Copies of this chain bind each other. A is one copy, B any other.
Amino acid sequence: MEPIPSEETGLGPEAMEAPDGEVLGKMIREARKEKGLTLEEAAKAAAIGRSTLSKIENNQTRPSFEIIRRLMQTLELETPQLFVQSSQSGVTGRRDFTRTGEGEHKETSTYDHELLCSELTSKRMVPYISTIKARDVTEFDNWVRHQGEEFMFVLSGELILYTEHYRPLRMGAGDSVYYDSGMGHGCVSVSKEDAKVLWVSLEG
């Protein structure tokens, strides 16, 4: 019994959905629950319809700015933040987490990268865990190089970080380093086991 009137909109490039849209309903529902309000109470307080609120929370509609504004006020989400400041922080009002080992894997020849919190697409920093295979390359022909800054923290194993213009740096668990990733860089595991490092990269 699913009439499902969702026919192809021969019209719209409107079919587009922003990742933010996805989260919006969730945010609102959580905020409402947080305040212990029912749909009816919240809707009334925001002067909107009960059904409208339900649809918004389930992402079944594309609410108007005005409606969202009222909801934000009612639920005490800071409205200005959501817009104006989204220019500064691309993750305004959002959060994402990743359980151990459950990141999105991306393997290359020398590394095994596990992207963390990758569902939060608009974030400015990019955190990932890399497994650097033991007994691998001992020299680079190709430095890695990308405009920005990078922070690295050694989780386990032992490795040598090569950074252009600097002496190689031998690092063990718990050590950390911060560098201009525009300089050529790369590392090599020198322990018997693979080395694990946490990287946080910032573009620009």
Q: For the complex, what is the distance from the CA of A90 to the CA of B80, rounded to whole Å?
A: 14
Shortest distance between the CB of A25 and any CB in chain B (Å):
11
What are the residues of chain B within 8 A of A86 when measuring CB–CB? 69, 72-73, 76-77, 147, 204
Residues of A18-53 contacting chain B, CB below 8 A: 18, 20-21, 24, 27, 30-31, 34-35, 44-45, 47
What are the residues of chain B within 8 A of A171 when measuring CB–CB? 97
In the complex where A18-B79, A66-B18, A117-B178 touch, is A153 in contact with B198 (Cβ < 8 A)?
A: yes
Shortest distance between the CB of A38 and any CB in chain B (Å):
13
Query: Does the CB pair B123–A178 fall under 8 Å?
Result: yes
21 contacts between A and B (CB under 8 A): A11-B74, A27-B165, A34-B165, A76-B84, A89-B147, A89-B180, A89-B204, A91-B179, A93-B165, A97-B169, A97-B178, A98-B175, A98-B176, A99-B175, A100-B172, A101-B174, A116-B176, A124-B202, A125-B149, A125-B200, A198-B198
